[in-house]
Structure 1
Protein backbone atom coordinates (compact mmCIF):
# COMPACT_ATOMS: atom_id res chain seq x y z
CA UNK A 1 0.00 0.00 0.00
CA UNK A 2 1.47 3.34 -1.10
CA UNK A 3 0.88 6.61 0.77
CA UNK A 4 1.50 10.30 0.25
CA UNK A 5 2.04 12.28 3.43
CA UNK A 6 1.72 16.00 4.00
CA UNK A 7 3.20 18.38 6.54
CA UNK A 8 0.70 21.24 6.33
CA UNK A 9 1.87 24.80 6.68
CA UNK A 10 0.31 28.11 5.77
CA UNK A 11 3.22 28.99 3.45
CA UNK A 12 4.42 25.52 2.37
CA UNK A 13 3.21 21.94 2.41
CA UNK A 14 5.87 19.26 2.68
CA UNK A 15 5.22 16.03 0.78
CA UNK A 16 6.65 12.53 1.20
CA UNK A 17 5.85 9.08 -0.13
CA UNK A 18 6.25 5.62 1.33
CA UNK A 19 4.73 2.20 1.55
CA UNK A 20 3.80 -0.49 4.03
CA UNK A 21 6.05 -2.87 2.09
CA UNK A 22 9.20 -0.88 2.79
CA UNK A 23 8.01 0.57 6.09
CA UNK A 24 9.89 3.74 5.26
CA UNK A 25 9.23 7.12 3.71
CA UNK A 26 11.05 9.38 1.28
CA UNK A 27 10.84 13.17 1.28
CA UNK A 28 9.67 14.42 -2.12
CA UNK A 29 9.28 18.19 -2.15
CA UNK A 30 7.63 21.21 -0.63
CA UNK A 31 4.78 22.97 -2.35
CA UNK A 32 5.01 26.73 -1.90
CA UNK A 33 1.72 27.53 -3.60
CA UNK A 34 -1.62 28.61 -2.22
CA UNK A 35 -5.27 28.04 -3.04
CA UNK A 36 -6.19 26.14 -6.17
CA UNK A 37 -2.58 26.04 -7.42
CA UNK A 38 -1.63 24.07 -4.30
CA UNK A 39 -4.32 21.47 -4.98
CA UNK A 40 -3.33 21.23 -8.65
CA UNK A 41 0.25 20.45 -7.61
CA UNK A 42 -1.06 17.82 -5.18
CA UNK A 43 -3.25 16.35 -7.94
CA UNK A 44 -0.15 15.91 -10.12
CA UNK A 45 1.63 14.10 -7.30
CA UNK A 46 -1.37 11.86 -6.70
CA UNK A 47 -1.50 11.04 -10.40
CA UNK A 48 2.24 10.27 -10.44
CA UNK A 49 2.43 8.18 -7.23
CA UNK A 50 -1.07 6.63 -7.24
CA UNK A 51 -1.37 6.43 -3.43
CA UNK A 52 -4.05 4.31 -1.86
CA UNK A 53 -4.37 6.73 1.06
CA UNK A 54 -3.10 10.08 2.31
CA UNK A 55 -1.57 10.95 5.69
CA UNK A 56 -1.52 14.43 7.18
CA UNK A 57 0.33 15.74 10.18
CA UNK A 58 -1.84 17.54 12.70
CA UNK A 59 0.06 19.75 15.15
CA UNK A 60 -0.81 20.20 18.80
CA UNK A 61 0.62 22.20 21.68
CA UNK A 62 3.03 20.22 23.89
CA UNK A 63 0.20 19.62 26.38
CA UNK A 64 -2.00 18.14 23.63
CA UNK A 65 -4.23 21.19 23.24
CA UNK A 66 -5.35 22.28 19.80
CA UNK A 67 -4.46 25.62 18.25
CA UNK A 68 -5.21 27.52 15.04
CA UNK A 69 -2.92 25.42 12.83
CA UNK A 70 -4.50 22.23 14.25
CA UNK A 71 -7.84 23.38 12.89
CA UNK A 72 -6.37 24.48 9.56
CA UNK A 73 -4.52 21.17 9.11
CA UNK A 74 -7.74 19.24 9.76
CA UNK A 75 -9.57 21.44 7.25
CA UNK A 76 -6.80 20.69 4.72
CA UNK A 77 -7.33 16.96 5.39
CA UNK A 78 -11.07 17.29 4.75
CA UNK A 79 -10.34 19.16 1.51
CA UNK A 80 -7.97 16.40 0.37
CA UNK A 81 -10.55 13.73 1.14
CA UNK A 82 -13.36 15.49 -0.73
CA UNK A 83 -11.24 16.47 -3.76
CA UNK A 84 -9.35 13.23 -4.29
CA UNK A 85 -11.72 10.69 -2.73
CA UNK A 86 -8.94 8.89 -0.91
CA UNK A 87 -8.82 7.90 2.74
CA UNK A 88 -7.04 10.51 4.87
CA UNK A 89 -5.30 9.53 8.10
CA UNK A 90 -4.23 12.04 10.75
CA UNK A 91 -0.98 11.77 12.73
CA UNK A 92 0.03 13.84 15.76
CA UNK A 93 3.05 15.64 14.35
CA UNK A 94 4.43 17.43 17.38
CA UNK A 95 8.16 18.12 17.00
CA UNK A 96 8.63 16.68 13.49
CA UNK A 97 10.06 19.96 12.20
CA UNK A 98 12.47 20.13 15.14
CA UNK A 99 13.56 16.55 14.47
CA UNK A 100 13.98 17.20 10.73
CA UNK A 101 16.10 20.28 11.49
CA UNK A 102 18.23 18.37 13.99
CA UNK A 103 18.93 15.77 11.28
CA UNK A 104 20.17 18.54 8.99
CA UNK A 105 17.34 18.34 6.46
CA UNK A 106 17.74 20.69 3.52
CA UNK A 107 13.96 20.78 2.99
CA UNK A 108 12.51 20.68 6.51
CA UNK A 109 8.90 20.52 5.32
CA UNK A 110 9.26 17.44 3.11
CA UNK A 111 11.56 15.80 5.69
CA UNK A 112 8.84 16.43 8.30
CA UNK A 113 6.29 14.81 5.98
CA UNK A 114 8.56 11.74 5.77
CA UNK A 115 8.77 11.59 9.58
CA UNK A 116 4.98 11.88 9.79
CA UNK A 117 4.57 8.98 7.36
CA UNK A 118 7.16 6.83 9.14
CA UNK A 119 5.32 7.42 12.42
CA UNK A 120 2.03 6.42 10.76
CA UNK A 121 3.60 3.25 9.35
CA UNK A 122 5.02 2.29 12.77
CA UNK A 123 1.68 2.86 14.50
CA UNK A 124 -0.37 1.12 11.78
CA UNK A 125 1.57 -1.94 10.59
Structure 2
Protein backbone atom coordinates (compact mmCIF):
# COMPACT_ATOMS: atom_id res chain seq x y z
CA UNK A 1 0.00 0.00 0.00
CA UNK A 2 1.51 3.34 -1.02
CA UNK A 3 2.23 5.91 1.67
CA UNK A 4 0.82 9.41 1.71
CA UNK A 5 2.39 12.46 3.29
CA UNK A 6 5.85 13.73 4.08
CA UNK A 7 8.90 11.65 3.28
CA UNK A 8 12.40 12.17 4.66
CA UNK A 9 15.38 10.76 2.78
CA UNK A 10 18.84 10.04 4.13
CA UNK A 11 22.20 9.80 2.40
CA UNK A 12 24.09 7.98 5.15
CA UNK A 13 27.81 8.51 5.52
CA UNK A 14 30.30 7.84 8.27
CA UNK A 15 31.12 11.55 8.68
CA UNK A 16 27.87 13.19 7.58
CA UNK A 17 24.26 12.30 6.88
CA UNK A 18 22.47 14.23 4.17
CA UNK A 19 18.75 14.75 4.64
CA UNK A 20 16.07 15.72 2.14
CA UNK A 21 12.33 16.19 2.40
CA UNK A 22 9.44 15.80 0.00
CA UNK A 23 5.82 14.81 -0.03
CA UNK A 24 3.64 12.48 -1.99
CA UNK A 25 1.48 15.31 -3.37
CA UNK A 26 4.15 17.32 -5.19
CA UNK A 27 6.58 14.39 -5.56
CA UNK A 28 9.47 16.84 -5.49
CA UNK A 29 12.53 16.39 -3.26
CA UNK A 30 14.30 19.29 -1.57
CA UNK A 31 17.62 19.28 0.33
CA UNK A 32 16.95 19.83 4.03
CA UNK A 33 19.99 19.40 6.25
CA UNK A 34 23.43 17.93 6.73
CA UNK A 35 23.93 16.16 10.02
CA UNK A 36 27.52 16.26 11.16
CA UNK A 37 28.18 15.09 14.70
CA UNK A 38 31.05 13.46 16.52
CA UNK A 39 29.10 10.54 17.97
CA UNK A 40 26.38 8.22 16.73
CA UNK A 41 24.13 9.28 19.60
CA UNK A 42 24.48 12.93 18.59
CA UNK A 43 23.63 11.99 14.99
CA UNK A 44 20.53 10.12 16.14
CA UNK A 45 19.50 13.05 18.36
CA UNK A 46 19.57 15.27 15.26
CA UNK A 47 17.62 12.65 13.29
CA UNK A 48 15.07 12.44 16.14
CA UNK A 49 14.51 16.21 15.99
CA UNK A 50 13.86 16.04 12.25
CA UNK A 51 11.49 13.11 12.60
CA UNK A 52 9.60 14.89 15.39
CA UNK A 53 9.38 18.10 13.34
CA UNK A 54 8.40 16.56 9.99
CA UNK A 55 6.41 13.49 11.17
CA UNK A 56 7.29 11.47 8.04
CA UNK A 57 5.02 8.75 6.72
CA UNK A 58 8.15 7.09 5.32
CA UNK A 59 11.93 7.39 5.52
CA UNK A 60 13.97 6.57 2.43
CA UNK A 61 17.60 5.50 2.84
CA UNK A 62 20.06 5.40 -0.04
CA UNK A 63 21.63 1.97 -0.50
CA UNK A 64 25.09 2.08 -2.09
CA UNK A 65 26.11 -0.88 -4.21
CA UNK A 66 28.97 -1.78 -6.51
CA UNK A 67 28.20 -1.09 -10.19
CA UNK A 68 27.48 -4.81 -10.71
CA UNK A 69 24.89 -4.74 -7.90
CA UNK A 70 27.06 -6.49 -5.33
CA UNK A 71 26.96 -5.28 -1.74
CA UNK A 72 29.98 -3.76 0.01
CA UNK A 73 30.81 -2.45 3.50
CA UNK A 74 28.73 0.73 3.18
CA UNK A 75 25.75 -1.29 1.93
CA UNK A 76 25.67 -3.13 5.24
CA UNK A 77 26.13 0.10 7.23
CA UNK A 78 23.25 1.78 5.39
CA UNK A 79 21.00 -1.23 5.98
CA UNK A 80 21.91 -1.07 9.69
CA UNK A 81 21.13 2.67 9.75
CA UNK A 82 17.73 2.00 8.12
CA UNK A 83 16.99 -0.73 10.69
CA UNK A 84 17.92 1.66 13.50
CA UNK A 85 15.59 4.34 12.10
CA UNK A 86 12.76 1.84 12.10
CA UNK A 87 13.60 0.45 15.53
CA UNK A 88 14.15 3.77 17.29
CA UNK A 89 11.37 5.83 15.75
CA UNK A 90 8.87 3.28 14.42
CA UNK A 91 8.94 4.81 10.92
CA UNK A 92 8.40 2.86 7.72
CA UNK A 93 11.55 2.44 5.67
CA UNK A 94 12.28 2.14 1.96
CA UNK A 95 15.76 1.47 0.58
CA UNK A 96 16.67 3.05 -2.76
CA UNK A 97 19.58 1.97 -4.94
CA UNK A 98 21.88 4.98 -5.00
CA UNK A 99 24.54 3.62 -7.37
CA UNK A 100 24.11 6.37 -9.91
CA UNK A 101 22.96 9.26 -7.72
CA UNK A 102 26.49 10.59 -7.30
CA UNK A 103 26.88 10.94 -11.07
CA UNK A 104 24.19 13.63 -10.98
CA UNK A 105 26.25 15.62 -8.49
CA UNK A 106 29.77 15.21 -9.88
CA UNK A 107 29.86 18.80 -11.10
CA UNK A 108 29.70 19.99 -7.49
CA UNK A 109 32.73 18.13 -6.20
CA UNK A 110 34.43 19.72 -3.26
CA UNK A 111 31.20 21.13 -1.85
CA UNK A 112 29.23 19.56 0.96
CA UNK A 113 26.55 17.95 -1.14
CA UNK A 114 25.19 15.35 1.26
CA UNK A 115 21.77 17.02 1.48
CA UNK A 116 21.63 17.31 -2.31
CA UNK A 117 22.55 13.63 -2.62
CA UNK A 118 19.66 12.82 -0.28
CA UNK A 119 17.37 14.87 -2.54
CA UNK A 120 18.52 12.87 -5.58
CA UNK A 121 17.82 9.64 -3.69
CA UNK A 122 14.35 10.85 -2.73
CA UNK A 123 13.62 12.00 -6.27
CA UNK A 124 14.63 8.53 -7.51
CA UNK A 125 12.13 7.06 -5.04
CA UNK A 126 9.38 9.35 -6.35
CA UNK A 127 10.25 8.56 -9.96
CA UNK A 128 10.14 4.79 -9.29
CA UNK A 129 6.83 4.73 -7.41
Smaller-chain TM-score range?
A: over 0.9
Which residue, out of 93, 107, 110, partners 2:112? 107
1:62-118 per-residue CA deviation (whole Å, 9 max, x = no partner) reads 111100000000000000000000101000001323312326795311000000001
Q: Please tell me whether residue 27 in structure 1 is matched to residue 69 in structure 2.
A: no
State the alpha-carbon separation in 2 of the partners of residues 114 and 2 from structure 1: 13
Displacement over 4 Å in runs of 4+: 103-106
Relative to the length of structure 1, the TM-score reads: 0.93
Q: Please tell me whether residue 123 in structure 1 is matched to residue 128 in structure 2.
A: yes
Match of 2:12 in 1: 8
Structure 2 gap ranges (5+): none
State the alpha-carbon separation in 2 of the partners of residues 49 and 106 from structure 1: 26
Relative to the length of structure 2, the TM-score reads: 0.90
Q: CA RMSD in A?
A: 1.5
Offset of 1:48 from its aligned partner? 1.1
